[in-house]
């Protein structure tokens, strides 16, 4: 491993030192999407908005995904939320499938209903204000407490500041289907760390081998001096 590169687990190719006195510069745009529900960050975005997490909904909704809500209201950084068949609860509460962490959004603000017609296979959507304080706008039209039909590419404003683009996906109309020959690749599980020396004490200087190299915490020493070894 080169001294100019520091590899951090989970951060792809790591960071390189910069000769122009800029401490670090990315060598790649890999992003770790491990944690996901205040919004999923759109692939290709290098940053998350402060406070944004990526996680699965807490309401247990496992119905098929038929669309998304997309927004850049937080800081211009794209985030999206999956829309499932059935009821999609929108609000500030962690228990909402679409969790919007913004002060003018009520804990339980709205419900987005989505169904697929059995005869035409068409996707239908409607939204309802379930007692919010700051209301809902659809394409700049303020809604009452009734159910309002929604369409693909509608702009829905939740509260005063969260504007979202509604994207409904007609998979069959777009020619999307399950591939009969799809071959999934399973990732190999990471092996737990196992010390190579049973009695090695990294804090006992009398037992440390000395040949000017870097000593790993397990006692192994197979790197040249000046290098950095990661477990």
Q: Is the model's pLDDT at 66 over the cut of 80?
A: yes
- List the structure tokens of 12: 């792809």
> What pLDDT does 28 receive?
43
Q: Cα separation of 37 and 28, whole Å? A: 25
User: According to the model, what pLDDT value does residue 191 have?
Assistant: 77
What is the model's pTM? 0.58
Q: What is the mean pLDDT of residues 12-39?
A: 46
Q: Mean pLDDT, to the nearest integer, of 171-185? A: 92
What are the extents of the domains in the chain? 1-30, 34-168
Does residue 195 contact residue 202 with C-beta atoms inside 8 Å? no
Checking if the pLDDT of 73 tops 80, the result is: yes
More confident of the two residues 134 and 20: 134
Q: Per-residue pLDDT averaged across 122-142, rounded?
A: 96
49 compared with 177, residue with greater pLDDT: 177
CATH of domain 34-168: 2.60.200.20
Distances (CA, A) of 184 to 120, 122, 180: 32, 30, 12
* CA-to-CA dists, residue 7 to 17, 32, 43, 204, 230, angstroms: 12, 14, 22, 28, 8
* Residue-level pLDDT at 58: 55
**Range in 52-61, 80-89, 168-177 with the lowest mean pLDDT:** 52-61
**pLDDT confidence of 214, banded at 50, 70, 90?**
low
Statement: residue 79 has pLDDT above 90: yes
Question: How far apart, in Å, are the Cα atoms of 127 and each of 37, 143, 148?
Answer: 20, 9, 5
Q: What is the pLDDT of residue 151?
A: 97
Residue 72's nearest CA partner among 197, 161, 179 is 161
pLDDT of residue 189: 81
Which residue is associated with the tokens 């697929």?
Answer: 116
93-115 per-position pLDDT tens digit:
999 999 999 999 999 999 999 99
**More confidently predicted of 186 and 156:** 156
**Measuring CA to CA, which residue among 23, 168, 177, 172 is closest to residue 82?**
168
């Amino acid at each position: 491993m080169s001294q100019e590169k520091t590899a951090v687990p989970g951060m792809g190719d790591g960071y390189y030192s910069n000769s122009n006195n800029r401490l670090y510069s990315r060598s790649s745009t890999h992003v770790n999407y491990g944690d996901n529900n205040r919004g999923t960050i759109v692939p290709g975005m290098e940053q998350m908005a402060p406070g944004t997490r990526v996680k699965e909904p807490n309401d247990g909704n496992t119905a098929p995904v038929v669309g998304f809500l997309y927004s850049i209201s937080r800081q211009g950084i794209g985030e999206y939320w999956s829309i499932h068949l059935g009821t999609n609860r929108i609000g500030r509460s962690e228990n909402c499938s679409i969790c919007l962490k913004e002060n003018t959004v009520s804990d339980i603000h709205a419900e987005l209903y989505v169904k697929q017609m059995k005869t035409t296979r068409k996707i239908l959507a409607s939204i309802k204000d379930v007692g919010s304080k700051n209301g809902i706008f659809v394409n700049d039209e303020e809604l009452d407490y009734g159910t309002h039909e929604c369409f693909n590419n509608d702009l829905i404003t939740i509260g005063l500041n969260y504007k979202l683009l509604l994207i409904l996906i007609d998979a069959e109309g777009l020619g999307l289907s399950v591939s009969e020959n799809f071959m999934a690749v399973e990732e190999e599980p990471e092996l737990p760390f196992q010390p190579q020396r049973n009695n090695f004490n990294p804090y006992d200087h009398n037992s440390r081998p000395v040949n000017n190299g870097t000593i790993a915490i397990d006692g192994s020493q197979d790197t040249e001096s000046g290098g950095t070894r990661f477990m």
